[in-house]
């Protein structure tokens, strides 16, 4: 993120008593909102004044045991102040499309083993087999994301699903919604000869936005989540 122009007004939020975990959460959401900021050595948060409403909203959304939101103090003489820059950029926090794709491949390979067992027990290409595979996929993906924010593939690639409202772990409702959106391509395959093409088109619609600057697929937007790097 580029430095703030030298002629832009700034606001100061005095937060010397903010716990370290709350400070990290605040910094994370400032980065996710692409708001330039700087922490001074005495615990003062400095942001451009044009972002006041957004910063107030983020502060209000912090857990209730965080200190009450202070009134911002305008910085009159910005010319003598150091330029404000974000501590990190959005690209430094969000998981890259490459990591996300690798995590998907690993999860696919992990699910091959129970899929093969299901084929043996209920018979390949049967309705029972399809239902069993879908149930296994749901249990694996929804359970992992709901409880830990990760599947095995995400653990290996060091990425994690997080809620945009800061609540952790994501929970089953969020995990189910995130799983359901891409899985909606599955019933499309039964719509005659056009079914496979419609299914593929839906998958593209869901995942193509991952390659954009926000790196949020349609399932991320529906569930209110982001996928971030853990290292």
Average pLDDT over residues 90-106: 85
Q: Tell me what pLDDT residue 80 has.
A: 42
Domain ranges of the chain: 10-91, 94-229
Residue 86, pLDDT above cutoff 80:
no
Task: Give the distance from CA 100 to its chain's centroid.
Answer: 12
Residue 84 or residue 102, greater confidence: 102
Q: Is 187 helix (H, G, I), strand (E, B) or coil?
A: helix
Give the Cα separation of 225 and 231 in Å (integer): 18
Find where tokens 């502060």 sit.
59
Beta strands in the chain (DSSP E): 10-14, 38-39, 44-48, 73-75, 159-163, 225-229
- pLDDT, tens digit (0-9, with 9 covering 90-100), for 177-212: 999 999 999 889 888 899 999 999 999 999 999 998
Kindly report whether the peptide bond that precedes residue 169 is cis, defined as omega within 30 degrees of 0. yes
pLDDT digit string, tens, across residues 133-155: 889 999 999 999 999 999 999 99
Choose the most confident range, by mean pLDDT, from 44-48, 78-82, 117-121.
Answer: 44-48
Model confidence at 67, pLDDT cuts 50, 70, 90, reads very low
| Structure-model confidence comparison of residues 123 and 218, the more confident one | 218
Distance between CA atoms of residues 209 and 12, nearest Å: 35
Could you tell me how far CA 72 lies from the centroid of its own chain? 28
Q: Given pLDDT bands bounded at 50, 70 and 90, which one contains residue 33?
A: confident
| DSSP collapsed to 3 states, 5-72 | CCCCCEEEEECCCCCHHHHHHHHHHHHHCCCCCEECCCCEEEEEHHHHHHHHHHHHHCCCCCCCCCCC
**pLDDT per position as a tens digit, 152-168:** 999 999 999 999 888 88
pLDDT of residue 7: 46
Q: Is the pTM of this model over 0.75?
A: no
Looking at CATH, the fold of the domain delimited by 10-91 is given as Alpha-Beta Plaits (3.30.70)
End-to-end CA distance of the chain: 20
Q: How far apart are CA 148 and CA 160, in angstroms?
A: 8
- Residue 229 CB contacts under 8 Å (≥ 6 apart), including other chains: 92, 93, 94, 95, 96, 99, 158, 159, 160
Q: Is the pLDDT reported for residue 73 higher than 90?
A: no
Q: Strand 44-48 relative to strand 225-229: parallel, antiparallel, unpaired?
A: unpaired
144 in Cβ contact with 104 (< 8 Å) = no
Q: List the beta bridge partners of residue 140.
A: none
Q: Is the pLDDT of residue 74 over 70?
A: no
């Amino acid at each position: 993120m580029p430095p703030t122009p030298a002629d832009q007004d700034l606001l100061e939020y005095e937060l010397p008593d903010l716990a370290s975990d709350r400070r990290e959460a605040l910094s994370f959401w400032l980065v996710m909102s692409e708001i330039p900021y700087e922490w001074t050595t005495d615990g003062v948060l400095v942001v451009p004044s044009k972002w006041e409403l957004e910063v107030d909203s983020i502060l209000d959304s912090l857990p209730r045991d965080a200190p009450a939101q202070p009134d911002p103090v305008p910085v009159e003489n910005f010319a003598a102040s150091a330029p404000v820059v974000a501590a990190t950029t959005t690209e430094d926090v969000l998981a890259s499309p490459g990591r996300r794709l690798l995590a998907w491949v690993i999860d696919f390979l992990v699910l091959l083993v129970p899929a093969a067992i299901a084929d043996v027990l209920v018979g390949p290409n049967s309705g029972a087999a399809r239902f069993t595979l879908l149930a296994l996929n749901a249990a694996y993906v929804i359970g992992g994301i709901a409880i830990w924010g990760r599947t095995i593939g995400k653990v290996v690639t060091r990425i994690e699903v997080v809620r945009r409202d800061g609540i952790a772990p994501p929970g089953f409702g969020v995990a189910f919604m995130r799983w359901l959106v891409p899985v909606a391509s599955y019933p499309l395959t039964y719509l005659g000869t056009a079914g496979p093409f419609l299914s593929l088109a839906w998958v593209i619609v869901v995942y193509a936005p991952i390659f954009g600057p926000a790196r949020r697929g349609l399932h991320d937007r529906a569930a209110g989540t982001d996928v971030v790097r853990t290292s």
